Amino acid sequence: MDQGGCRMNGGRGGDGREINGPGMGSHSGVITLEDLESMSEDQLSDSGNGSLEEGETMEDDEDQDRLLHYWQDVARGHQVEVPGDMAEPIQQITSNNNGAHTRERVPFALLGRKEKMETVYYEKRHYEKAKWACVTVSEETYEQSICYGFMRIMRYICQQNSAGTYLGMTLPIVTVVHTDEMRQDLMQAVTIAYYLPPQYQATPPQPEDSGIVIEDWPAQIIYARAFTGPTNEVTIISEIHAMGEALEEPGECMGDTFIIAGYTNPAHANRQNEIWFLERR
């Protein structure tokens, strides 16, 4: 991962253990489009007329419109407009998240962890070289940037690629953020990145969106610290400072660029995230 460019949007370590740290309580924050990515058919039917029968899928125009309108209603309250051409990607993501596809995990080797009793403060991991689809967005607010960037990645995953097929979701979806020198404020520009599934690593499908770039990220050592709840400017800055305090040698990886990784269903009350620090070379 190039320290100045696109990088790898946490919860469990490589062995499945829960990673926690001091002050990792739930935080309040606005709902963004990533919160809607996991809308189930049952939840959607509750907001509309009628319900879906067992085994029925939402593949007709009426169901696509119902999903789209739900996204639009929620997003509008946060100054985000969801265009009509998002109807099919939204439907595909929703249907496939209900068990049709297994989500691939980004592989890594666990090198060690700092822990005390049952509390894991952070993990040290090695990620191999891999290809990621990246899009950089700079909107007026952080929430708008991640929303619009995520929609563009969704289109790429959902058939707007040279393979013309649904590529499948991988975990984590990551967001690269930048801070000022004092690490007190986030910059507007963020990069949303999607790890290409193993079957596409050798020959990645090319995006129709010219703003999405397929990048080769080099092998990298990462320090990962888990936290729960939504991600916003306040929680990200807080977690950056908490990670800096937990690290034994913060100078080895403290810069102005950090990564937010999201693993679990974004709408889950105890959503699992990680803050990632990259080891300096």
Highest mean pLDDT out of 47-61, 167-181, 263-277: 167-181
Domains with residue ranges and CATH for the chain: 103-278 (3.20.80.10)
* CA–CA gap between residue 149 and residue 140 (Å, rounded): 13
3-state SS assignment for residue 120: strand
Q: What is the pLDDT of residue 26?
A: 31
3-state SS assignment for residue 121: strand
Cβ atoms of 163 and 220 within 8 Å: the answer is no
The chain-wide mean pLDDT, for the chain, equals 75
Between 221 and 281, whose confidence is greater? 221
Instruction: Return all residues near 141 (Cβ < 8 A) that are at least 6 apart.
Output: 79, 188
Residue 112: is its pLDDT beyond 90?
Answer: yes
Residues listed for the chain: 281
Q: What is the pLDDT of residue 1?
A: 57
Cβ atoms of 225 and 121 within 8 Å: the answer is yes
Between 238 and 72, whose confidence is greater? 238
Residue type, 58: M
Cβ atoms of 67 and 59 within 8 Å: the answer is no
Question: Against a cut of 0.85, is the pTM above it?
Answer: no
Residue type, 169: M
50 phi and psi angles, rounded to 5 deg:
85, -175
Residue with tokens 């990088």: 7
